[in-house]
Copies of this chain bind each other. A is one copy, B any other.
Amino acid sequence: MVTMDDVARLAGVSKMTVSNVVNNRGGVSEPVRRRVREAIERSGYRVNVSARTLRSGRTGVIGLAVPEIDRPYFGRLASHVIERARRRGFHVAIEQTGAAAAGEIDAIAHARTLQFDGLILSAVGLDGRDRTPPEGDHPIVMLGEQDFGGRFDHIAMPNEEATAAATAHLLDRGCRAVAHVTGRLDWNLNMVNARHRGHLGALAARGVEADPALHVGLDALTMEAGRAAAHRLAAAGRPFDGVLAVTDTVALGVLRGLADVGLRVPDDVRVAGFDDIAEAAYLVPALTTVAPDHAWMAEKAVELVTERIADPGRPTARYVAPYALVIRESTR
């Protein structure tokens, strides 16, 4: 392995000068700088990141912990985070938490062990109440769903407001009986509860009574569960003419399930989702959905985490992501 010492010898300078050149620091004359650059080139020298980290205490790595990287929503988010972090000179290491509090606690521990400079945690298991994150001084930015009562920097989703907008839109389109296909409320998952509140609020605002029979609490927020929910709704016999799905992934399953039982969208039933995954625009019918600004969220998360790395004592900040309701065929 080629070290700074080798380069220094080759260039006829001290290794400190090599270090200064490598890190683009001042105090090196132009001819010497050029000589060192040449020596680096010739020798094929590369900095040893471990040694640098050991000395400086910084790894230049930000952790990104998501439930599962192969869900479209998180893949998109990760892609943006990687890109934004790169612009600021940080590398991103991805952790999968498996959508469980235990996995999220692991991710936090991991972030310390592997000396990530900071961690962006898309938490769905931990919260500010019964399952709280472990104490620690590591820079953590919470992303998305849960609420932590100001203990962390937090980029929140406009869950309640945006869901209300989606439900209001369904009512505008003439729906009278809107089913809500979502997670089970007893999960105490903030995202599920907040979106449900938004749904109920929109109904109440129009004087529509919520029918408990049209509330479907899924065991998992998957395509398969969405499909089964549609089957169940159809089998129950209670008439419905709209479905609000808690995520696009669930909505995709619902669309499929409605097709299974011969219900046409939007003619018989209108459907809306949440997330605006890339596929939403290409489904048949194309899916109406809430589109949070993913790029904005990623940018803000990286900004917050880098700021906290630079100044750990900063007061925590909280932002709510902007969103748009994208109206497509499924609610025409």
Copies of the polypeptide in the assembly: 2
Q: Judge if A217 is at the interface, Cβ distance under 8 Å.
A: no
- Residues of B close to A59: CB separation below 8 A: 50
| A69-B82, A78-B69, A259-B284 known; A49-B114 Cβ under 8 A | yes
Per-position contact with B for A53-78: 1 when CB-CB < 8 Å, else 0?
11000010000000011111011101
A279 at the interface (CB under 8 A from B): yes
Among A50, A79, A259, A284, the most chain B Cβ lie within 10 Å of the Cβ of A50
Bound Cα distance from A51 to B115, whole angstroms: 11
Most central of A54, A59, A68, A223 by chain B CB within 10 Å? A54
The answer to whether B284 and A256 touch across the interface, beta carbons within 8 angstroms, is yes
Alpha-carbon distance A70/B76, docked complex (angstroms): 5
Interface string of A105-117 (1 = CB under 8 A from B): 0000000111100
Closest to A72 in B: B72
Q: Which one of B51, B72, B115, B252 lies within 8 Å of A48 (CB-CB)?
A: B115
Residues of B within 8 A of A284 (CB): 255-256, 259, 283-284
Cβ contact of A93, chosen from B72, B91, B96, B259, cutoff 8 A: B91
Given contacts A47-B113, A49-B114, A115-B50, contact A278 B223 (CB under 8 A): yes
| CA distance in complex: A115, B253 (Å) | 43
CB of A69 to closest CB in B, whole Å:
5
State the CA gap A8–B256 with chains docked (Å): 62
Are the C-beta atoms of B283 and A256 separated by less than 8 Å? yes
| A46 interface hit (Cβ, 8 Å) | yes
Size category of the binding interface on chain A: 35 or more
Among residues 20 to 51 in chain A, which have CB atoms less than 8 Å away from a CB atom of chain B?
46-51
In chain A between 222 and 256, which residues have their CB closer than 8 angstroms to a CB of chain B? 223, 227, 252-253, 255-256
Chain B residues with Cβ below 8 Å from A72 are 70, 72, 75
| Cβ-defined contact, A252 with B282, below 8 A | yes
Which one of B50, B74, B79, B281 lies within 8 Å of A96 (CB-CB)?
A: B79
Closest to A113 in B: B46
Nearest chain B CB to A36 CB, angstrom units: 18
Query: Could you tell me the distance between the alpha carbons of A49 and B51 in the complex, rounded to whole angstroms?
Result: 11
Q: Shortest CB–CB separation between residue A94 and chain B, in angstroms? A: 5
Name the CB-closest residue of B to A286: B256
Query: Is B71's CB under 8 angstroms from A91's CB?
Result: no
Collect the chain B residues with CB atoms within 8 Å of residue A227's CB.
Answer: 282
A157 within 8 A of B: no
Q: Taking CB as reference atom, which chain B residue is nearest A77?
A: B70
Which residues of A are at the interface with B, using a C-beta cutoff of 8 A?
46-51, 53-54, 59, 68-72, 74-76, 78-79, 82-83, 91-94, 96, 112-115, 223, 227, 252-253, 255-256, 259, 278-279, 281-284, 286
Having A48-B54, A72-B75, one finds 15 other A-B pairs with CB under 8 Å, namely A50-B50, A51-B54, A54-B54, A69-B79, A69-B94, A70-B278, A75-B75, A82-B94, A82-B96, A92-B93, A223-B282, A252-B282, A253-B282, A255-B282, A256-B284
Across the A-B interface, the 5 shortest Cβ-Cβ residue pairs: A70-B75, A50-B53, A70-B79, A75-B75, A256-B282
